[in-house]
Structure 1
Amino acid sequence: MWVVAEKEIAGLVTPDAAFDAVEAVFASMASGDAYNFPVVREAIGYEDALYGFKGGFDKAALNLGLKAGGYWPNNQKHGLINHQSTVFLFDPDTGRVAAAVGGNLLTALRTAAASAVSIKHLAPKGAKVLGMIGAGHQSAFQMKAAARVANFEKVLGWNPHPEMLGRLADTAAELGLPFEAVERDRLGAESDVIISITSAFEPLLLDGHVTGPTHIAAMGTDTKGKQELDSALVARARLFTDEVAQSVSIGEFQHVTAKGLVSEDDVTPIGRVITGDHEGRGSAEITIFDGTGVGLQDLAVAGAVVELAKQQGKAVEVEI
């Protein structure tokens, strides 16, 4: 078994490589060449943690495996980030474990890549203003990935804890973009693209906040009860996701489908847009992409990392 430590990941995978891997696996899912396994995600009743498994099989790339981990909201006291995970790859020919890969940075990169893929394919033409809701660890990755696929001229930001907005301001400055902290109504009215990256269980972006052509990427922590967007806002949008089953069970669209405001048939896998099987935005005023985070994303990026690590002598082989 090959082991690639978390500390090696930053030197092995670039945002562009993560984007390409995620876009490709979404297309493979749409064409039937790859599929995800049912997700296990539970509150463990200790440290307010959410823990689970996401896995799948890509028969074209021969990636088989899972990501184990979750969200530990009290990790600051340990000097650790809240999201903790490890990706395990298995040999599809024999079932033997093939690799263990540090999954923390990979998760941030593939999550940011997913929202960037949605922006590339669904954002209004000529989008100039990026709105950011949430200023946690992953927000910087989200902003940087978004800036790679659209020519934004300004970033607006809001966070439930305003003292954290410095992360967004610093990231925007790094990208050479002006940043302004605003209230949610102004963010919704002025932003062409909005990324929400929180762990909210009550809607933060309301229907009345959003006016004009807008694309929204709902990228926050997914579990039963999760909600970042007002149901009325979701109900009047054209809806896309990475995995429909996850979106309507543990993702952003679980509430509107439970209320009967939309059906599963109203939610389109973004892979269909990538392959040209769906028009995408079309004439819709608002599009929403629910990034639930599928196991195949992790496997695709982890598989590429293992090969690079072996080539560069950064993978350690162990017997089990």
Structure 2
Amino acid sequence: MKTETTRNAIIQLVNNWLTAWSSGNEIALHRIFGPDSTFSSTAHGVIKGNLKIASCLIDDCNSCPFLRLNASNYYISCADQFTSIATISMYIYGGFQSHLNFGGTVIASVHIDQSGSWKFAQLTLTVNWMQGDKSLLPYWKYPTENRLWIQGDPTPLIVSELDSPWVNSSSIEHSKSKIDQITETFSRYSWAIDQADFTLLQTCFTDDSKGNFPPMGYLNGKHEIIGQLKAFRQIWPWMQHFGEILNINLNELENTAQMLVGRINTHDMLPSINETSYGAHYQLSLRLEANVWKITNFDYVPGHFSKTALLKKS
């Protein structure tokens, strides 16, 4: 199976999972997970087997109708271009109308079963933050947000330096299209800063990188960028950067690219009669170094923008 086909099939599996979860489709959930699957969640606990996993997720819909779920910031890692096994990381965000919103981080291992269908073998979900009426989900274990660590806090389910797909997979990046590699550079950057994985974060920038990083201001060089981002991140453990790639301009000859990313407003869950809008956007310049795409110029622009207005910038 070619890498692009694999990527599309795995993203479709994720979409099917979120649709089945939000709609309480028990039959679909039975198909998405297998009898030996494991679902580990900071909110739900550890659940094994597709029947129990489905029952658990359906309880969410029974407690709070009108659940909406979305995914972003994908990274997909395959052993080779013919693989039937892969690892995926992503962000999910959702809400129950305007009453409750939450965001989470997901790592999952997926495989093709004997019927030829992709299924989750193991799915780990960390709910990073919740805002609104938490009494709507009284049986969830709520995240320890809006504060720093205190004695007695549980061990995180996801430890990036040990668990991230960039650590645990022999992904053949060269088999991916350049557009996918560039797209996943933003996923690598957002994951690294949100998980406080600064070893991974330093792979996202060239030595001569520079740019505008509000509220820190203009930063010049990898040392200053990583140093400032590290200090900034430490007091914000529930940080999460949801992004949608809006446009990529690739220069094949020079192995450089320009990427426009919209900062997703995770609290705007209801369909709009107008077009999609974003809470901020990124204008990124990238360069390929030793087969790794890295950011050379970073410009984060706060403020609400429509998709049309942003695409005109590109």
Does TM, normalized by the shorter one, top 0.5? no
Structure with the higher strand share, 1 or 2: 2
Question: Taking structure 1 as the reference length, what is the TM-score of the superposition?
Answer: 0.29
Structure with the higher helix share, 1 or 2: 1
Q: Quick one: higher RCO (CA 8 Å, sep 6+), 1 or 2?
A: 1
